[in-house]
Amino acid sequence: MAEDKIVQETPAKAFDFLIKAKELNPDPDFRYYNLAARAHMKLGQIFDGIHAYEESIKKKKDQLDLVLYVADFYEKERKQKEALFYTKLYLEQKPNAKYRLYTAAILSRQLGLESDYESYIQILESDKTFVSEKESLQTSLLKNIKNKKWKEADDLSLRYLVYFPREETMYETLILARRGRDSELLEQAYQWTSTVFLNETRYFTRYGVYLQEKQRYLESLSLFRRGFYNLLKFYPDSDAGEILFLIRQSYANLGKDRDTLAIDSLVKDFKNQNKLTATDLENHQYTYRKNREYLLFCIYWFSKRDVTKANDYRKKLKDRDMEFEEQEFLRVMGVFSALPQDL
């Protein structure tokens, strides 16, 4: 009867029958929860529906389509921990599912589970089926891009990405193809690329620029910040001009005039860092004492000169982030929010 009510577009009435059913059987099987989930979904109660599906999966975990449905839902909601849980549950039953192995790798790294990430990637790389075709595959991809055959390039990149999960060409063509066809999955491609090449600056820059185009300024700022951190940690001799310009632009878009001025000052200090005195840097930082980039730069600069002061600035940065945690959504902003930034 409950199923009939759902089909008849009267899901609210379905709950009457479901309540009666549970009174008769306080421990119903998976079908009860599936019906409850469908009724919730019909009423627009999406999270209640998902939770009902989760109860159903607890009763019968081999509902593989349902497991993937819940995993994909949580991934879209940027709840990586939950998405990874259901992806792993699927892999327990389908251990050779390459796309899901890849998804598990991505989610693991976004959660800081580096050893799990490496394990999943190595499983994918252990399949040498198409290694001999790698060069011709790359030629085909570039040809499709040149001829603006966006769908073909997208499909081909996605198909072979799981065999070459650390091959930059695959990601470059995937991004170009999805941008060319204006795909709603373009952001996913940026996320994957930034995750796999986690220590690079350029992919965080490109992803951030994409979000700027969408006027998602706080999210773009979080990515540019990650890019600046990567530059200080892994490429300290690089030119910081572009990434600092983009950070400044983000602050301007957010109406943060004080931080905008801070970046103007920081650009000069970064260029002249070998001539800076500790007193000058501390005075400049104190002028903009709440600016995150200045605090990060001070940690970097003093770590090579005065460990005690570097630790002082680490504490100041931690205090600053606690103060701005809610305002800037620091713990939840973007798929990389769980990862530390330790210099």
pLDDT tens for each residue of 14-36: 777 777 767 677 788 999 899 88
**DSSP output for 86-116:** HHHHHHHH-TT-HHHHHHHHHHHHHTT-HHH
Angle subtended by helix axes 202-213 and 186-196, to nearest 10: 160
Domain borders along the chain are 2-92
Q: What is the pLDDT of residue 333?
A: 67
Buried residues in 300-314 as b, exposed as e (16+ CB within 10 A): bbbbeeeeebbeebb
Higher-confidence residue of 70 and 326: namely 70
Q: Which residue has the tokens 């730069």?
A: 297
Percent of the chain predicted with pLDDT > 70: 94
Q: How many residues does the chain have?
A: 343
Distance CA 217, CA 224 (A): 10
Q: Does domain 2-92 have CATH number 1.10.150.20?
A: no
Per-residue pLDDT at 2 exceeds 50: no
